[in-house]
């Protein structure tokens, strides 16, 4: 019987293949008693920790040299967790209390995971996952259990796992054609990695126990569906669907060198969202217009110290230099809420999404902002850099950020360092207050970029990470559209630019409305660039203004969806399924 599973698509694609169900190492009994000398056991533990740490640091450096920042940081952060004195001290204490070395690791790890989970913060929950991951590595080392190694897979496979550790996925070779996970969310590290590696992935399926090792499965990471228990006929149909998808991708690939424009000739700039320097070559290959959003907070994550000015400068400069004339919009650190950074001890807050985060931290701890601004301004001397402040909610806040910018410039002049005096400055429109006061804000900056992910969350008062209010969280809600229209109007009146860089920009239903509202710049993740270019070419801008006007006047997101669906030809939708 065909079994259907649904989850969250975090990296698009369609694939039929053999499932490899990754069995995790059995849980180590935390009650196992130590046989032998505790002193020797403690020495064995510290020795193994040291060797494993050396290896992980080496792997991290290898990835850093290859410009693979996410992978490098993950290994570095896990190495820091491994050698953390509180962690190793707790293992030692357990050994001295009479438990075996692996049991002591399991006990210490479980205690710390509990502490992290009790804080009820999604990012700390991810840290608990990392700790579990690194503890298992250590236990494997101690017990001689072989690592789950995906680097020498000989056959094409779709990985099926309850909760695959990122450090295992990182090593996967190109035989891995897909990933299905019971756990995970859009923001989990493993999801970010899968998208970075271009592996179609559906996570958060709830239970993958029904998929058997060696079974053929159809992973549709466009719709977020997985079929297993397929008949020959189903396999044939699924393969046809994959083939069609491949043909679509081949056709899309021919758009790499083209300039995206609507049928009536309006040029729409398509930029990319990045988290590190590793995608720079691909941006050029895909013919994107540059970087519309550099989420620099990833440079602050998983480390105990802040990235210094020179470290940041080297990263921003390398992107700006390679992209030459294409613009690179550097968003200042957007840490907080779901994005924790170990170097900033933010503590627990009742409502972190409404709390001390992003620009709020930066104008309080101005040395952090100044360092970053100095690095970005200096990078501007080698390319086309723009700077953007996130989460702006009030004009005072913007003015404080701008005064730190002036300070950074004064300091660079004093230090005699080359930088771009005329670096364009923008803000993200992510709060309803910023959208409402858009006309005032635009007088003080050069551009806006609409962060629809947060704008939707704050307009509808619905946590973007909370599945229970997902029914409410919808960027097509007319209230959100109204705020976007207001923002776009404020900019169009004064010859400045407005882009959209949230997930909404790659939603085929939202795209025609945005263009109809006068948006001419959008920024999406790299895998969506070509499809978005294609869709733009199928749109007629004159018809879209009317469509956008109608959409804003509707009552619900569902009505907006129906309107757009019925207003565009099948040819448009054929590209989206």
Q: Which is nearer to ligand PEP, 132 or 475 (CB)?
A: 475
* CB-based contacts of 148, cutoff 8 Å, min separation 6: 22, 24, 25, 168
We find the least distance from the C-beta atom of residue 256 to ligand PEP, in angstroms, to be 25
State the Cα–Cα distance between residues 105 and 481, nearest whole angstrom. 52
Q: Which is nearer to ligand PEP, 383 or 502 (CB)?
A: 502
Identify whether 475 is a catalytic site residue. Answer: no
Answer for which of 130, 276, 309, 454 binds ligand PEP (CB under 6 A) is 454
Number of residues that bind ligand PEP (CB under 6 A): 10
Q: Does 507 bind ligand PEP (CB under 6 A)?
A: no
- Between 413 and 452, how does the x/- string for binding to Mg ion read (CB under 5 A)? -----------------x--------------------x-
Binding to ligand PEP, residues 403-442 (CB under 6 A) = 430
- The stretches of 66-148 forming alpha helices (DSSP H) are 69-83, 85-96, 101-118, 122-143
Binding to ligand PEP, residues 268-327 (CB under 6 A) = 293, 295
Chosen from Mg ion, ligand PEP, none, partner binding at 90 (C-beta under 5 to 8 Å by type): none
Q: Which is nearer to ligand PEP, 42 or 501 (CB)?
A: 501
How many other C-beta atoms lie within 10 A of the C-beta of residue 478?
A: 18
State the Cα–Cα distance between residues 415 and 120, nearest whole angstrom. 44
Answer for which of 41, 169, 270, 501 binds ligand PEP (CB under 6 A) is 501
Answer for which of 92, 276, 334, 463 binds ligand PEP (CB under 6 A) is 334
Tell me how far the alpha carbon of residue 157 is from its chain's centroid. Answer: 24
Active site residue: 205, 362, 374, 501, which one? 501
State the Cα–Cα distance between residues 133 and 124, nearest whole angstrom. 14
State the Cα–Cα distance between residues 409 and 518, nearest whole angstrom. 34
- Between 90 and 109, how does the x/- string for binding to Mg ion read (CB under 5 A)? --------------------
Chosen from Mg ion, ligand PEP, none, partner binding at 295 (C-beta under 5 to 8 Å by type): ligand PEP
Q: Look at residues 428, 424, 422, 412 and name the one whose alpha carbon lies nearest to residue 387.
A: 424
State the Cα–Cα distance between residues 577 and 574, nearest whole angstrom. 6
Task: Name the pairing type of β-strands 521-525 and 497-500.
Answer: parallel
Identify whether 501 is a catalytic site residue. Answer: yes
Chosen from ligand PEP, Mg ion, none, partner binding at 133 (C-beta under 5 to 8 Å by type): none
* Binding span for ligand PEP by CB under 6 A among 138-146, 347-355, 399-407, 445-453: 445-453
Adjacent-strand bridge partners of 521? 269, 499
* CB-based contacts of 356, cutoff 8 Å, min separation 6: 336, 346, 349, 364
We find the least distance from the C-beta atom of residue 502 to Mg ion, in angstroms, to be 7
State the Cα–Cα distance between residues 97 and 332, nearest whole angstrom. 48
Q: Which residues contribute to the site for Mg ion (CB under 5 A)?
A: 430, 451, 454
Which residues form the catalytic set?
Answer: 189, 501
Q: Which residues contribute to the site for ligand PEP (CB under 6 A)?
A: 293, 295, 334, 430, 451-454, 501-502
């Amino acid at each position: 019987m065909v079994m259907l599973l649904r989850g969250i698509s975090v990296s698009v694609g369609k694939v039929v293949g053999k499932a490899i169900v990754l069995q995790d190492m059995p849980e180590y009994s935390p009650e196992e008693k130590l046989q032998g000398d505790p002193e020797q056991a403690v020495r064995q533990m510290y020795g193994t920790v040291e060797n494993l740490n050396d290896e992980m640091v080496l792997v991290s450096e290898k990835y850093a040299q290859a410009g693979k920042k996410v992978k490098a940081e993950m290994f570095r952060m896990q190495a820091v967790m491994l050698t953390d004195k509180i962690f190793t001290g707790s293992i030692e204490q357990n050994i001295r209390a009479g438990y075996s070395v692996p049991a002591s690791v399991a006990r210490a790890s479980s205690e710390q995971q509990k502490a992290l989970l009790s804080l009820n913060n999604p990012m700390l929950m991810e840290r608990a996952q990392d700790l579990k991951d690194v503890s298992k590595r250590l236990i494997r080392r101690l017990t001689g259990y072989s690592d789950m190694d995906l680097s020498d897979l000989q056959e094409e496979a779709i990985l099926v796992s309850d909760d695959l550790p990122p450090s295992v996925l990182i090593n996967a070779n190109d035989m891995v054609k897909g990933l299905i996970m019971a756990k995970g969310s859009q923001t989990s590290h493993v999801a970010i990695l899968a998208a970075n590696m271009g592996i179609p992935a559906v996570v958060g399926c709830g239970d993958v126990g029904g998929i058997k090792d060696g079974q053929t499965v159809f992973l549709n990471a466009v719709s977020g569906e997985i079929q297993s228990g397929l008949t020959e006929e189903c396999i044939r149909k699924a393969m046809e669907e994959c083939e069609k998808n491949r043909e679509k991708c081949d056709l899309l690939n021919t758009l790499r060198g083209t300039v995206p424009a609507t049928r009536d000739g309006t040029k729409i700039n398509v930029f990319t969202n990045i988290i590190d320097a590793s995608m720079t070559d691909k941006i050029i290959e895909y013919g994107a217009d540059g970087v519309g959003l550099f989420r620099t907070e990833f440079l602050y994550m998983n480390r105990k110290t802040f990235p210094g000015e020179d470290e940041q400068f080297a990263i921003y400069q390398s992107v700006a230099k390679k992209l030459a004339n294409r613009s690179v919009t550097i968003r200042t650190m957007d840490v907080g809420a779901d994005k924790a950074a170990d170097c900033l001890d933010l503590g627990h807050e009742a409502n972190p999404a409404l709390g001390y985060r992003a620009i709020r931290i930066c104008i309080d701890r101005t040395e952090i902002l100044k360092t970053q601004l100095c690095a970005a301004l200096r990078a501007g001397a080698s390319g086309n850099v723009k700077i953007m402040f996130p989460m702006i909610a009030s004009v005072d806040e913007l003015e404080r950020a701008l005064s730190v910018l002036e300070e950074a410039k004064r300091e660079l002049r004093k230090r005699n360092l080359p930088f771009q005096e005329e670096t364009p400055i923008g803000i993200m429109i992510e709060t309803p207050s910023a959208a409402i006061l858009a006309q005032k804000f635009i007088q003080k900056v050069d551009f806006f970029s609409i962060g629809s992910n947060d704008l939707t969350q704050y307009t509808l008062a619905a946590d973007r990470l909370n599945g229970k209010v997902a029914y409410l969280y919808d960027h097509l809600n007319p209230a959100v559209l109204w705020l976007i229209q207001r923002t776009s109007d404020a900019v169009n009146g004064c010859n400045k630019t407005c882009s959209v860089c949230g997930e909404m920009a790659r939603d085929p239903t939202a795209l025609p409305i945005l263009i109809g509202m006068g948006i001419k710049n959008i920024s999406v993740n790299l895998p969506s660039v070509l499809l978005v270019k294609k869709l733009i070419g199928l749109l007629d801008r004159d018809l879209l203004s009317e469509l956008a006007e109608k959409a804003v006047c509707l009552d619900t997101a569902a009505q907006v969806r129906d309107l757009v669906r019925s207003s565009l030809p099948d040819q448009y939708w054929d590209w989206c399924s």
